[in-house]
Structure 1
Amino acid sequence: MGAKPRQPGMRGVTLIELMVALAILGISLLMVIPAFSTWLRNAQVRSQAENLQSGLQMARAEAVRRNTPVRLQIISDLSNSCTLVSAGTQWVSNLGSDVSPASLCASALSDTSSPYLLQRSAGSNSSNNALITASQSTLAFDGLGRLTATTQPSTSASATVTFQISAPGGTCIAASGDTRCLNLVVSPGGQIRLCDPSLSSAQVADRARAC
């Protein structure tokens, strides 16, 4: 019997072709990974900023609803060894302008038992969380929704409070990096505003989002 004719298009991949394909794949990954890392950092910042914004809005709403001061503070962690800090990844809110939750951050949420915790930040004590750097560790809203003074620590009701949210391992666009950091600004009147410090208010298109 004669040899079976080879069917067209039926051949294997040569070693050279495989190496070329792997090289192209490697180059593509090298191009994609930095972009993915930037996207991930930006997502972490956005998530942290929106979580904190929600916490501030809830603290203000509870202060108005209860007609009593409600405070929110940045904390070192969510354990019962927590301290109040001006730079951290977690926060809690509680009743009373003079009640500090330090060393009690893992307490059950309760408006009848000290430290009267109302809410705590979502997520775990992870070093991958976006960092919150605040102009002061603690603020409080009064029954009219305005900032009010606190004790433990002592804060003023007349100063605007700014929370800067940045990502670990990233540099903000405003500092010539590639991470879109965000700010939350709380005015003495209680207005809570999320803004982008890398944008200029001089540009009409960016004015609403600029800090």
Structure 2
Amino acid sequence: MPATHRRPATRGHSLVETMIALGIASVAAGLALPGWGEASERRRVEGAAAELETHFAHARSQAVAMNRTLRLHFVSDRCYVVHTGGSSTACSCADDGSASCSSGAQVLQVVQWSADTPVRVLSNRSSIGFDALKGTVTPTATVKIVGAGGTTLHNVINIMGRVRSCAPEPGLPGHTTC
């Protein structure tokens, strides 16, 4: 029987095949990158809006539980404080992330974002009071949560302390338009 020579199976890819695959991957990544940044900002804004909504609900329930009026004071677009005491300006934020109060007010919670955080909180009211007896909120407010690229969500709190979120025109998918 004649000896047959078998060629060993080739494994791997040629340089041309590898370069084509890298080129296609680079184009796909380049197309996906702008969408990734927008999605990332949207998630940051939605997260900050959800956190603020939670703080509204917590402050309202704490007011009833403690049987005293609590306030949520927007100190700046990067800081807000939940505190006891009737004065709307009794508390302020420090650069280290802490808060201090005067006039016998006590800090219950402070939320402060650093200057490099791409989210700001803008309210049409400087302070919101949570009534202990009725569980109501005075005054009602609209709080805008704004990302660095302009993505915006509004948290609207009504007199009963209920919060609804909406997005200004052109809106965000999954959110009603204000």
**TM (normalized to structure 1)?**
0.67
Q: Percent identity?
A: 24
Partner of 2:147: 167
Gaps of 5+ in 1: 75-83, 149-156, 173-180, 201-205
Residues 18-70 of structure 1, C-alpha deviation per residue, up to 9 Å, x if partnerless?
Answer: 22111101001011212221221111011100100011111111222223221
Is it true that 1:23 corresponds to 2:15 in the alignment? no
Residues 153-209 of structure 1, C-alpha deviation per residue, up to 9 Å, x if partnerless?
Answer: xxxx3xx311111211x233xxxxxxxx32111223433222233478xxxxx8x94
Q: 1-side partners of 2:126 and 2:167: how far apart? A: 21
Pairs within 5 Å for 1:49-88: 49-74=49-74, 84-85=75-76, 88=77
Structure number with the higher strand fraction is 2
Partner of 1:183: 154
Task: Pick closer, same or farther for the CA change 1:103–1:11 going to 2, 3 Å.
Answer: closer
SS of the counterpart of 2:114? coil
Aligned-residue RMSD, C-alpha: 3.1
Pairs within 5 Å for 1:129-148: 129-143=118-132, 144-148=134-138
**TM (normalized to structure 2)?**
0.78
Partner of 1:101: 91
Structure 1: 4+ residue segments shifted above 4 A? none
Partner of 1:6: 7
- Residues 71 and 97, structure 1, Cα contact 8 Å, conserved in 2: yes
From the CA coordinates, give the structure whose radius of gyration is larger. 2
